[in-house]
Amino acid sequence: MSDIQNHSDVHIVNGPNLNLVGVREPGVYGDKSFENFIPALREMLAKTAPALTLHYHQSNVEGELIDLLQTHGFSPNTGIVLNAGGYTHTSVALRDAVAAIQAPVVEVHISNIHARENFRHVSLLSPVCAAVVCGLGLSGYESAVNWLAASLAERFTSR
């Protein structure tokens, strides 16, 4: 394993209202909060992808999400899991930020956005993301992180 792989980072970036998961619409989003989920995800990664360091960010502010993407998205040893919440369907600025950065971005949605209201069926982010995961609940984040771990490892072994 290369030194670069030993220092790979995955940033989970959550947008508006995701701080309310576990409380907000538990029939849609479940009753487990990120406060309880992130330590379990870190523990899983320590076993399955020890070369990764997980960072968690949440903001209800569009500009802060863009700043996070720009701050972390130009490192060659970084991957990003992005759940932009409602901004998925409305933010051209967030889409442009994802398109501008070099890090692979996996778009994640806890619910199946295609089985919900029509306005949620269109993602402005999907065309500029490396992958999309939706409808798997919080385990979708685990799937996204595992995919990024493999993608980052492949990136370094092909050099």
Q: What is the pLDDT along the chain (159 residues), one digit of tens a residue?
A: 344 445 799 999 999 988 888 777 777 777 777 787 778 878 877 787 788 898 999 999 999 999 999 999 999 899 999 999 999 999 999 999 999 999 999 999 988 888 887 878 889 999 999 999 999 988 899 999 999 999 988 876 765
- Structural domain of residue 108, as residue ranges? 5-157
pTM of the full predicted structure?
0.87
In one-letter notation, the amino acid at residue 130 is A
Contact 104, 79 (CB under 8 A): yes
Domain count of the chain?
Answer: 1
Question: 3-state class of 55 per DSSP?
Answer: strand
109 included as an active-site residue = yes
User: Which is catalytic among the residues 72, 87, 109, 141?
Assistant: 109
141 included as an active-site residue = no
Contact 22, 72 (CB under 8 A): no
- CATH code assigned at 97: 3.40.50.9100
Which letter does DSSP use for residue 37 in this model?
A: H
User: Which is catalytic among the residues 29, 56, 87, 141?
Assistant: 29
CA dihedral 15, 41, 53, 14 (to 10 degrees): 0
